[in-house]
Amino acid sequence: MSVLGRLVSSVCSCGSNSGFLASVQKSVLPTYLTTRMYRKIKQKEGEKVTVIKGEVFEDTKNVYVEKAVPDDPCPLRSRGIQITYEDVLILQQFITSTGEMLPREHTNLSQQEFFKVLTCVKMAQRANLLPGTEDQTDKQGNFVPKLNRYLTRYDVGSRTPIRSRGLQYTKRLYRIGDRRLARDAPRVSSRPWSLNH
């Protein structure tokens, strides 16, 4: 555990996509191009015959980064990467085009990192940064208008209104963000992430 911690701390941690490439190139991790095949379903309808094929394509533009800790199967933990909900280019790799998460057996994420990625993906979907759920309905079935929001912890129609917030010393606060991410996510200033408003 201590060895991993030391190795992970030596690798740079990043919060935004722009800092990732620069930080990785500065470090010793080599990058190389790989070619991978992937399949896509194509459907052709003729007069009497419909052909459904799984065509094989070659994906040549794959820039892969080696791990700092090769024994660790988790792609985020082995490279010392801490994500926020704004890291859309990293999060997109772990979801399908409709917005569902890929299974853990496929991506080899550890359980803690998987839940971190899941919360980040959900927050990004509610902030309209990633493709996801388009329809938003309330618990009673009323249509909720699509409004701009960010750092939403709970589902859109799932919260009831707070009519009385209470006195200063027993105030009921609005919950924002996620506690696990605020504990681990990087920040330039020493002020901690705000979780309550």
Q: Which of 158, 90, 157 is nearest to 130 (CA)?
A: 90
Binding flag, residue 4, another protein (CB under 8 A): no
> Do the Cβ atoms of 125 and 163 come closer than 8 Å?
no
Sole window of 5-13, 44-52, 106-114, 184-192 interacting with another protein (rule: CB under 8 A) = 106-114
Residues in the chain: 197
- Which residues, numbered 125-154, are part of the site for another protein (CB under 8 A)? 127-131, 144-145, 147-154
Binding flag, residue 176, another protein (CB under 8 A): yes
CA distance 87 to 78: 18
> Do the Cβ atoms of 144 and 136 come closer than 8 Å?
yes
CA distance 15 to 17: 7
Least distance from C-beta 131 to another protein, angstroms?
7
Binding flag, residue 76, another protein (CB under 8 A): yes
User: Under the rule (CB under 8 A), what is the footprint of another protein?
Assistant: 17, 20-21, 24, 31, 34, 36-41, 54, 56-57, 61-65, 75-76, 79, 81, 85-86, 88-90, 92-93, 96-98, 106-108, 127-131, 144-145, 147-154, 156-163, 174-177, 197
